[in-house]
Structure 1
Amino acid sequence: MDSRRRSYLAAAGSVVTGILAGCPGFLRPSDGPSGRNRTGTGVDGASLQLPETVENAYPQYQYDAANTGTVPDVSGPTGAVTSLFEFGRAGFTPSHRMGSPSLRDGRLYLTEGRIDGAGDGETFVYALDAVDGSRQWATMYRGTNAAGPTAVTDDLVLATVGEELVGLAATTGVEQWSFDRGVQSGITVDGDTVYVVGRADGSATLYSLSAADGSLDWQTPVDADTAPVTPAVADGTVYTGGNTLQAFDAATGETEWTADCIVTAPATVTGERVVVGSGTAVRVFDRADGTEQWSNGVETYGNQESPAVTNPPAVTDDTIYAVADRGLTALSLTGSQHRYTVEIGIDGTPVVADGFIYLFGRGQLTCRAAADGRTEWTYGTRQRTSPGGAAPVVGDNVAFFPAERLYAIAG
């Protein structure tokens, strides 16, 4: 990236006039499309025990390298809920968006894209206190308003800024390295290695990088005509694709197998299976050789002519949760048994924690019981858009939803 595009903001505790500001403390809940917020027991911040810290880690998109979207040993907000804080610019515009956050050591890391008053693009990478939303540091990049996901390691924050992957010091936000190969996918971190898919000279390519310094270990072509999906990694194999589902050796990039499957959502790996959204169906493949085990169509409530499953399903030990055109469908992992479909009125990427599903879409944040899809709580917002592919982060008694603003809900 041309260094003239970069401008760094002050580090920890800085306040920058005219850009986003955190909004710590209690906020009056924003009116949603129906003009109110709803929970089963009412929004009542005064009666809730708010977290003093958020100790669990949520290191990357869909929680882990396998994209399972299932958070172990964590109970998110249920029952009565309140706004812990909101972070973002007042007065939404279509060009304004937040990327999927990551969480570690009580800090939340995320990107925000916007257009400034002169019509120029800006992307900010932020570190926020996960309890009160106060900004710990901010780093700005000029020339793009794209806001991609982040991932966090022991000492680095990885972020996609436009089509560039950058590694920033987690404590200060100072850039340590950058990788500019037309990155178009999300970030997958497995141990000391980072996997992303980019597009150079019109061809999709899977890259394996050192997380420490961004150096390239290997690269290999990906069969994808459209935007490639975020890789999934498990037990030494990387899964990605587009026109087909492909499995690559994580150490060398050599192809292990290819399956005939149009991939419309990032793969999810669990046990001996690879779960893929493919148009209006969920398809499950054997990890060993790519043999298809079963497929099942999902019920939709919207435009059935477009690919329905475009966000990765969340997968537990025995159930797949897929969202397609405003419907939430639960399928058994082993035999494609249809457990339920409920209309939820939004599209979104599901995340499961302690028997509840968290997701968001235009104007709405929601929590549903994983057992039957019933509504636990719904929180209305003034947001007009929902960034494609963005996903919530669930912590101890708190959930974070990146939309036109970042919403932190506690309960």
Structure 2
Amino acid sequence: MDSRRRSFLAAAGSVVTGLFAGCPGFLGSGEGENGRNVTGRRVVDAGVEVPTAVESSYPQYQYDAANTGTVPDVAGPTGAITSLFEFGQNRFTPGHRIGSPSLHDGRLYLTEGSLDANGDARTFVYAVDPVDGTSQWTTMYGGTNDAGPTAVTDEAVLATVGSSVVGLDPTTGVEQWSFDRLLASGITVDGDTVYLVGTRGETAGLYALSASDGSVRWATDVDAGSDPVTPAVGGDTVYTGGNTVQAFDANTGAERWSADYSATAPTTVAGDRVIVGSGTVVRVFDPADGTELWSNDVETYGNLASPAVTDPPAVTDDTVYAVADRGLSAFSLTGGQHRFTVETGINGTPVVADGFLYMFGRGQLSCRSAADGATEWTYGTQQQVSPNGAAPVIADSVAYFPAEKLYAIAG
């Protein structure tokens, strides 16, 4: 897997100037790369069968509105693997980042932020072919190099660009709307509603937006402090917080309950359980009234000065997988019994598919057994910092990892 075979694409796209108050400048959209070089397809091992099409969907960060990180009826790459393609800048520079992608109707959507040779910040939103890595359209924003996760519905691609959220046409990449409330969390989509935490002065607010036009359906204050977490939706309830764990009516924004524990990672909802990373403890609450059902410490290894669960746990119908201090721990969902802990050497957001866990960080993409944490395969990258809040996408025998580039690993 050390051999490199690359083709480069460089096509000039149309540039349209514009500026939205309170959000980055919208600089252009269209086919091609706006004059930038990005990597194309590279297949390393011809002996590994690669897909000719990717038909499954992965609509948002951690797969669903509940943040479960569990992908049903899909198997990722296991056994012998190959690099299907890499997508992103040809050079790795400070200030460069890739946001968590989403996948729908044969297109992979992602953001890329970087600084150009003059130090000017740019964020690009891409639609990419999930099999060969060719760009289908590009939309560029100036004034920021922050690149957050995307989500996709039938009507819109939702992208976090700097501290704003934009809604783009899935076919053309043309911006349809923007929401400029100083975004402070990731975005969660449930049906035709987008939930996010933004700031209003010194106050954090939970917002429910229309996915089709960005209009605000309701807004309410949250006790989030300086680190609000990405919302999760279970049934007719939205869960978020920071200083405390809070539950809100998904239709009106009325608070239903709060629990006096900090939330250091986005909440996960699984049936009749609400799972929260709170420092180095996993806590599980009753979604009806916020009663704590169980808690258990996540084992730490002394790798970090302030270890904590900062990525959302992945949850199946019987197991909670949480990561802290470069270790992976598994607990019984119903009673919190400890099942296993392995030191992985990385922090990362776990995603579960067909009995395997996928995660990355500190230059390593990895696949592990969901039964005992044993390593199935690893793949090295140039990214030496674990990016908080970035997560892989698992599709039909392919795993897409947003490191310093987007890596597509097939097997």
- Compute the TM-score of the two structures, normalised by the length of structure 1: 0.93
Native 8 Å contact 1:99 1:387 kept in 2: no
Query: How is 1:179-190 mapped onto 2 (pairs within 5 angstroms)?
Result: 179-190=179-190
**C-alpha displacement of 1:20:** 4.2
- What CA deviation, in whole Å up to 9, does each residue of 1:351-407 have, x standing for no partner? 000000000001100000000000000011122223211000000000000011110
Corresponding residue of 1:37? none
Native 8 Å contact 2:285 2:294 kept in 1: yes
Native 8 Å contact 1:151 1:159 kept in 2: yes
> How many residue pairs align between the two structures?
391
Corresponding residue of 1:332? 332
Native 8 Å contact 1:386 1:404 kept in 2: no
Give me the whole-angstrom Cα distance separating, in 1, the residues matched to 2:191 and 2:123: 27
Find the partner of 2:38 among 21, 25, 37: 21
SS at match of 2:321: strand
Native 8 Å contact 2:382 2:404 kept in 1: no
For 1:156, the aligned partner's letter is: A
Residue 361 in 1 paired to residue 361 in 2?
yes
Corresponding residue of 2:70? 70
Native 8 Å contact 1:349 1:390 kept in 2: yes
SS at match of 1:46: coil
SS at match of 2:206: strand
Following TM superposition, the consecutive aligned residue runs of length 4 or more in structure 1 with deviations greater than 4 angstroms are none
Give me the whole-angstrom Cα distance separating, in 1, the residues matched to 2:34 and 2:374: 43
Give me the whole-angstrom Cα distance separating, in 1, the residues matched to 2:224 and 2:359: 27
Mark the CA change 1:114 to 1:15 in structure 2 (over 3 Å): closer, same or farther. closer
For 2:312, the aligned partner's letter is: P
- What CA deviation, in whole Å up to 9, does each residue of 1:240-270 have, x standing for no partner? 0001000000000000001111000000000
Corresponding residue of 1:289? 289
Query: How is 1:9-408 mapped onto 2 (pairs within 5 angstroms)?
Result: 9-11=29-31, 14-17=32-35, 19-27=36-44, 45-303=45-303, 305-408=305-408
SS at match of 1:149: strand
Native 8 Å contact 2:368 2:374 kept in 1: yes
Give me the whole-angstrom Cα distance separating, in 1, the residues matched to 2:146 and 2:159: 11
**C-alpha displacement of 1:90:** 2.4
Corresponding residue of 1:33? none
Native 8 Å contact 2:381 2:403 kept in 1: no
- What CA deviation, in whole Å up to 9, does each residue of 1:177-214 have, x standing for no partner? 01101111111000111101011201110000111100
Find the partner of 1:7 among 13, 18, 27: 27
Give me the whole-angstrom Cα distance separating, in 1, the residues matched to 2:354 and 2:134: 28
**C-alpha displacement of 1:305:** 4.3
Give me the whole-angstrom Cα distance separating, in 2, the residues matched to 1:242 and 1:209: 21
SS at match of 2:331: strand
Corresponding residue of 1:38? none
**C-alpha displacement of 1:227:** 2.1
- In structure 1, runs of 5+ residues without a counterpart are 28-44
Mark the CA change 1:244 to 1:23 in structure 2 (over 3 Å): closer, same or farther. same
Mark the CA change 1:20 to 1:199 in structure 2 (over 3 Å): closer, same or farther. farther
Native 8 Å contact 2:113 2:144 kept in 1: yes
Native 8 Å contact 2:24 2:141 kept in 1: no
- In structure 2, runs of 5+ residues without a counterpart are 1-19
Native 8 Å contact 2:38 2:90 kept in 1: no
- Compute the TM-score of the two structures, normalised by the length of structure 2: 0.93
For 1:6, the aligned partner's letter is: F
SS at match of 2:46: helix
Native 8 Å contact 2:195 2:207 kept in 1: yes
Give me the whole-angstrom Cα distance separating, in 2, the residues matched to 1:317 and 1:187: 24
For 1:5, the aligned partner's letter is: G
Give me the whole-angstrom Cα distance separating, in 1, the residues matched to 2:29 and 2:39: 15
**C-alpha displacement of 1:91:** 2.5
Corresponding residue of 1:31? none
Native 8 Å contact 1:76 1:353 kept in 2: yes
Give the percent of matched residue pairs that are identical in Structure 1 and Structure 2. 68
Give me the whole-angstrom Cα distance separating, in 2, the residues matched to 1:98 and 1:302: 28
Mark the CA change 1:303 to 1:202 in structure 2 (over 3 Å): closer, same or farther. farther
Give me the whole-angstrom Cα distance separating, in 2, the residues matched to 1:169 and 1:295: 43
